[in-house]
Structure 1
Amino acid sequence: MKSQAAYFNGLFSAGSKSNNQPPHQATNPFFAMVRKEVADQVHSWRFIILAGLILLTFLGSMYVSLTNISKAVSNINDPDRLYLYLKLLTTTDGSLPPFHIFIGFLGPLLGISLGFDAINSEQSGGTLIRLMAQPVYRDSVINAKFVASLIVITTLFLSLNLLMIGGGLIITGVSMEPSELMRILCFVILSVIYVSFWLNLSILLSVKFRQPATSALTAIAIWIFFTVFYQIIVNVIIKAFLPSPDVLSQDQLVAYNRIILTFLRFVPSQLYTDATTTLLMPSVRSLGPLTMEQMAGAIPSPLSVRESLLVVWPQVSGLIAATVVCFALSYYLFMRREIRT
């Protein structure tokens, strides 16, 4: 927050309006807090830096996609070649990863930066106890923190994808199919859910720890563990308890790979990558290994939006469940927390 006075001026002005207006026209303190939190986050340097970094990666990915889009749509062996706008999000020449890969890496940093000091900075600064002295419900505080950050994240991702759609219309002149629009909207919603998980995790750590530096370092340590070390640990454990893949039959090899994928899907970034790959590439039919008998007679053709959503529903439901659990824990701890000390 910029200052204590600026924060409480919005709440006090909301209260003064409610005294002069009828009850149905009174300003709700919750919405006053949401507006103030959105303004503070948008004007904060950490959000400006991360949003600028995401914008730069988006522009770089779009440039690579546009320079290679003609090769992608002319490849007759690619069943997704007719989905021009999905190709803008997935086409690459190897110099830069696609945009959804960047979001899988930078999204956690964005969520952590928006929530690691949501509560403990208020308490260490003395604004939380003053806020609770006003006619404001305690749960409105943490709800406003989450809703304001959610508004900022949704606006950012929706704006980037609308920019991609508008740029594609201007440069190529090709109209968008309704199925492409639905897939891009699903991609935006999924990206918001993914970043919201890390946002709620950082808010939970902000409630748990009293120092913002501690909550920030803990959240970054969790992110690094899942990004770098978790896959190494899983591979070491699997190789220690299971035989080498070189001596396995085809069915045993499929089961071996499924075990590894099952453990890797405890990582939120893996769930997000699987879901976005399926949504942005309609020809993807399965997220696990398939045997030759399962592939026999299969015709490579794109799936409908409904069928792709059915394929990725376990991943989407897992991300939603993890997000809800983190928010519920932070809500529970905050409602029972002593704020007078």
Structure 2
Amino acid sequence: MKSQPISLKDLSLKQAKSNQSPEKAVSEGPFNVIVRKEIADHIRSWRFIVLIGLIVLTFIASMYVALGNIKSSVGNTDDPDHVFLYLKLLTTTDNSIPPFHIFLSFLAPLLGISLGFDAINSEQNNGTLIRLMAQPVYRDNLLLAKFVSALVIVSTLFAALALLMIGGGMLLTGVRMEPQELLRILSFITMSITYVAFWLSLSILMSIKFKQAATSALTAIGIWLFFTVFYQIIVNLVIRSFLPNPTFLSQHEIMAYNELVLNILRIAPNQLYTDATTTLLMPSVRSLGPITMEQMASAIPSPLPFKESVMIVWPQVSGLIAATVVCFALSYYLFMRREIRS
């Protein structure tokens, strides 16, 4: 939905008329006013409704498949994770459709891109950016409000889906949730919000860099397709061209090669998100890199404590947070130096 040409003064007066005094509306501050206005615009937009419907339908389909196969998964004593019923709801599948956390690695970037690709350029094209800057509003407040309003909506969506999953699992199974399961599900939600925040900051950067909303949207989608589809293919082709015959390599050289490939692949945000969510939702995962047969033979097949799983995925979490901060910092730098009167 296109932003309406309305100034902060009009918004403050409108809030003052709706059971609020003018002093309270003014003291609320321009940042809160912009956040409220952006949340309302996102909720009313058709693109947001379509994406929310797509994610909710995907969640329902994944939960339906997981509930249909939960008995066989929980009854499999060979699986160290068979005692974690609610984690199985997010990871169990019959191979007809991927599990929910794999689906989310494809849909979450689209959600972040759709919420930010026209955050700034649409305001300038509609003439509302000049009116906003004519008010006592700092540019960093406007940019931060665009980012925070979208994150509030995304956080509310993921929290609601998690509560639906937990409530539905309790009603259908009657099994009590373990504290470790709750911590892992909350960590999964936090990781998903961070993943969306990266693509949101990237799309806001594109909206500042390009004047047309279509150009910024296509650029952000192109970056997403490159990292999702083509990046792994290019890495494998390039490394294979420099790799000697594997028959002449020792075990340590093969492990070093696999470790190099994994480290290069982890430049992609979707690889970081997949590694982190897989480790958090599957407590039996002990390592994200190659291990030797001696290490596998001496390892006891048991689930890791929550703290140990967090230590394993902390590089992935810090990498996504760092990428988000870098994109937002570039957006801040470009927006501060941009001439908005042209």
Do these two structures clear the TM 0.5 threshold for a shared fold by scoring above it? yes
Q: How does 1:196-275 map to 2 (within 5 A)?
A: 196-275=197-276
Separation of aligned partners in 2, 1:167 and 1:16:
42
Separation of aligned partners in 1, 2:270 and 2:22:
50
8 Å contact 1:14–1:29 — kept in the other structure?
A: no
Summarize deviations over 1:175-219 as a string: whole Å, max 9, x none. 101110000000000000001100000000101111101100100
Residue in structure 2 matched with residue 130 of structure 1 by the alignment = 131
| TM-score, normalization by structure 1 | 0.96
Residue in structure 1 matched with residue 304 of structure 2 by the alignment = 303
8 Å contact 2:86–2:177 — kept in the other structure?
A: yes
Q: CA deviation at 1:327?
A: 0.6
Separation of aligned partners in 1, 2:64 and 2:36:
35
8 Å contact 1:14–1:32 — kept in the other structure?
A: no
Q: Letter of the aligned partner of 2:255 in structure 1?
A: V
The DSSP-based 3-state class of the residue aligned with 2:11 is helix
8 Å contact 1:231–1:264 — kept in the other structure?
A: yes
Summarize deviations over 1:127-169 as a string: whole Å, max 9, x none. 0000111111121111100000000110111111110000000
Separation of aligned partners in 1, 2:16 and 2:124:
22
Residue in structure 2 matched with residue 331 of structure 1 by the alignment = 332
Summarize deviations over 1:244-299 as a string: whole Å, max 9, x none. 33442222221111111011000000000000000000010000110012223210
8 Å contact 2:16–2:22 — kept in the other structure?
A: no
Residue in structure 1 matched with residue 159 of structure 2 by the alignment = 158
Summarize deviations over 1:5-58 as a string: whole Å, max 9, x none. 4876324446899994279x8221110110110011011110110110011111
Q: CA deviation at 1:236?
A: 0.8
Q: Letter of the aligned partner of 1:50 in structure 2?
A: L
Residue in structure 2 matched with residue 40 of structure 1 by the alignment = 41
8 Å contact 2:3–2:122 — kept in the other structure?
A: no
Residue in structure 1 matched with residue 70 of structure 2 by the alignment = 69
Separation of aligned partners in 2, 1:16 and 1:67:
53
Q: How does 1:9-158 map to 2 (within 5 A)?
A: 9-13=10-14, 20-21=22-23, 26-158=27-159
| TM-score, normalization by structure 2 | 0.95
Question: What is the aligned-residue RMSD (CA, Å)?
Answer: 1.8
Separation of aligned partners in 2, 1:93 and 1:201:
35
Separation of aligned partners in 1, 2:40 and 2:24:
27
The DSSP-based 3-state class of the residue aligned with 2:131 is helix
Q: Letter of the aligned partner of 1:21 in structure 2?
A: E
8 Å contact 2:235–2:261 — kept in the other structure?
A: yes
The DSSP-based 3-state class of the residue aligned with 1:243 is coil
Separation of aligned partners in 1, 2:277 and 2:246:
29
Corresponding position: 1:194 with 2:156: no
Separation of aligned partners in 1, 2:12 and 2:121:
20
The DSSP-based 3-state class of the residue aligned with 1:21 is helix
Q: Letter of the aligned partner of 1:188 in structure 2?
A: I
Q: Letter of the aligned partner of 2:180 in structure 1?
A: S
The DSSP-based 3-state class of the residue aligned with 1:46 is helix
Residue in structure 2 matched with residue 288 of structure 1 by the alignment = 289
8 Å contact 1:11–1:33 — kept in the other structure?
A: no
Q: CA deviation at 1:310?
A: 0.1
Separation of aligned partners in 2, 1:155 and 1:173:
26
8 Å contact 2:117–2:203 — kept in the other structure?
A: yes
Q: Letter of the aligned partner of 2:335 in structure 1?
A: F
Separation of aligned partners in 2, 1:155 and 1:340:
36
The DSSP-based 3-state class of the residue aligned with 2:69 is helix
Which structure 2 segments of 5+ residues have no match? none
Query: Cα 1:176–1:217, aligned 2, differ >3 Å: closer, same or farther?
Result: same
Query: Cα 1:339–1:96, aligned 2, differ >3 Å: closer, same or farther?
Result: same
Separation of aligned partners in 1, 2:24 and 2:273:
47
Q: CA deviation at 1:220?
A: 0.6
8 Å contact 1:14–1:28 — kept in the other structure?
A: no
Residue correspondences, number: 340
Query: Cα 1:53–1:246, aligned 2, differ >3 Å: closer, same or farther?
Result: farther
